[in-house]
Amino acid sequence: MAKRSGRPLDACPLCAAKEAVVVQDQTLALAGLGTAELSFGYCSSCGHIYQVRRASDDLLLRHYESFSNYTCFDPEAARRAAPTNLTKRLLTLAEARAPKGLAYEVGCATGYHLVHFRRAGWDVGGCDPSLKAVAQAKEIFAIDIDCGTDAAMLPRRSNLSIVLFSHVLEHMIDPVAALRHAHRALSDEGVVLLEVPCATAPHLVPPGWFAFEHLHYFSETSLNRMLRSVGFEPVEFRISYKAELYPVIAVAAVKSRMSIAPSSDELAVLQTRTFLNELVARDDTLWRHTADRVDRLDGPVYVWGAGVHTAQLFDRTDLIRDAKVKAIVDRDSQKWGLTQADRAIISPEDLFARHDDEPIVISSFAAEAQIAKSLSEAGIAARNIVRLYG
Encode pLDDT of 275-307 as tens digits.
999 999 999 999 999 999 999 998 899 999 999
The pLDDT value recorded for residue 140 is: 94
Report phi then psi at 95, rounded to 5.
-65, -25
Report phi then psi at 116, rounded to 5.
-80, -30
Q: Are 22 and 52 in contact (CB under 8 A)?
A: yes
Q: What is the per-residue pLDDT across 188-226, written as a single tens digit (0 to 9) for each? A: 999 999 999 999 999 999 999 999 999 999 999 999 999
Q: What is the per-residue pLDDT across 33-49, written as a single tens digit (0 to 9) for each? A: 999 999 999 999 999 99
Tell me: pLDDT of 69 over 80: no
Q: Within a 13 Å sphere around the CA of 308, how many CA atoms are in the beta-carbon half?
A: 17
Q: Is 311 helix (H, G, I), strand (E, B) or coil?
A: helix
Q: Is 12 helix (H, G, I), strand (E, B) or coil?
A: coil
Q: Are 49 and 216 in contact (CB under 8 A)?
A: yes
Question: Does residue 245 or residue 43 have the better pLDDT?
Answer: 43
Q: What is the per-residue pLDDT across 314-328, written as a single tens digit (0 to 9) for each? A: 999 999 987 789 999
pTM, to two decimals: 0.93
CA angle 256, 168, 111 (to 5 degrees): 105
The pLDDT value recorded for residue 243 is: 77
Q: Are 390 and 373 in contact (CB under 8 A)?
A: no
Rounded Cα distance between 381 and 143, Å, is 43
Q: What is the per-residue pLDDT across 143-172, written as a single tens digit (0 to 9) for each? A: 999 999 999 999 999 999 999 999 999 999
Alpha helices (H) along the chain: 57-66, 75-80, 85-97, 114-119, 131-141, 150-153, 175-185, 220-229, 266-295, 308-316, 348-354, 368-377
Q: What is the per-residue pLDDT across 327-368, written as a single tens digit (0 to 9) for each? A: 999 999 989 999 999 999 999 999 999 888 899 999 999 999
